[in-house]
Structure 1
Amino acid sequence: MSRIRLAVRENVLSDPARVTLQMYRDYLDTLGRGWVCEQDGEIVGFSYAAHGDASIWALFVLPECEGRGIARRLLALATDYLFGLGERQVVLSTAADTRADRFYAAQGWARGAMKDDREVFFTLPRP
């Protein structure tokens, strides 16, 4: 997961040490659930849903695999999981004015408040 997270061209971590391997484990084991997309035995994308705050903690795809519908499917798995737990809405945040910002809007998420003019919050109500 870390390899994919560090390979992205947008939403680049200013300090890669901020997201530790233990955090990936915690979100997978106790704080939520995660999914991966594999192609030819290689993980090319992943998503994590956090059940504590009904959020999408992470959604990333290798740059060379973008545009193939991988992110859309991984996002659907994560949101379906949270709605299956009874959540009324799912939330996430991403860097403003990026492909991710436009992607979430195109998937029907409602664009909300901004934080520091760099981060935008989105919500998706239960269908």
Structure 2
Amino acid sequence: MIIREAVIQDIKQIQLVRNSVTENVLSNPDLVTDQDCKEFLTQRGKGWVCEINNEIVGFSITDLKDNNIWALFLKPEFEKKGIGKQLHDIMLDWYFNKTKNTVWLGTSPKSRAETFYRKAGWTETGIHGKGEIKFEMTYNDWLSKTANNI
């Protein structure tokens, strides 16, 4: 298993992962374009992928412009193996190394993702978009969490 920075050449496989999920499914897969992915990877923030046997099985992307976690997804058969946590932690370490601004994300209620983010220390702050739960992570909360894991 390799976790590395995502590059433009990964976008096709990133899209395959995004469209393989069984929760937080896009109502229309055409809503997230390859160009969107390229913009988030090269202009707005940064992304990471997890590769197993040269196949991307998960990815995460953070957005410095809107202080947002744009994506964190795994192929369903690779869930519950610690990959999501590794992608999450690398992404947040990088994000808070670049800015101290609070970061937010939205996810579907009653999903495994909701449970994941609560366990990871995110704070629910309301509703976002079409009924998603909005979570936030502050710089100090992340520092405290990482200090406790050392």
Distance 1:65 1:125, change over 3 A: same
One of 83, 86, 105 as aligned partner of 1:70: 83
1:88 and 2:96 equivalent? Answer: no
Partner of 2:68: 55
Distance across 2 between alignment mates of 1:116 and 1:20: 19
Deviations 1:44-79 (A, max 9, x none): 000001011221100000000000111111111111
* TM-score w.r.t. length of structure 1: 0.95
Structure whose CA Rg is larger: 2
* TM-score w.r.t. length of structure 2: 0.81
Instruction: Name which of structure 1's ranges 27-36 and 79-88 shifts more when overlaid on structure 2.
Output: 79-88
One of 46, 50, 53 as aligned partner of 1:37: 50
Partner of 1:121: 134
Q: Which has the higher helix share?
A: 2
Taking only the aligned residue pairs, the percentage that are identical comes to: 39
Question: Deviation of residue 96 (structure 1)?
Answer: 1.3
Aligned residue type for 2:117: Y
Tell me the secondary structure at the aligned position of residue 40 of structure 2. helix
User: After TM superposition, where is structure 1 displaced by more than 4 Å over at least 4 residues in a row?
Assistant: none
Count of residues paired in the alignment: 127
Aligned residue type for 1:72: K
Deviations 1:21-42 (A, max 9, x none): 1111110111110000001111
Q: Which has the higher strand share?
A: 1
Question: Deviation of residue 116 (structure 1)?
Answer: 6.2
Task: Give unmatched runs, 5+ long, in structure 1.
Answer: none
Q: Is the 8 A contact 1:54 1:87 kept in 2?
A: no
Task: Give unmatched runs, 5+ long, in structure 2.
Answer: 1-13, 144-150
Aligned residue type for 2:56: I
Aligned residue type for 1:55: N
1:17 and 2:30 equivalent? Answer: yes
One of 76, 79, 86 as aligned partner of 2:92: 79
Aligned residue type for 1:39: I
Distance across 2 between alignment mates of 1:93 and 1:36: 20
Distance across 1 between alignment mates of 2:136 and 2:15: 26
Root-mean-square deviation (CA, aligned residues, Å) is 1.2
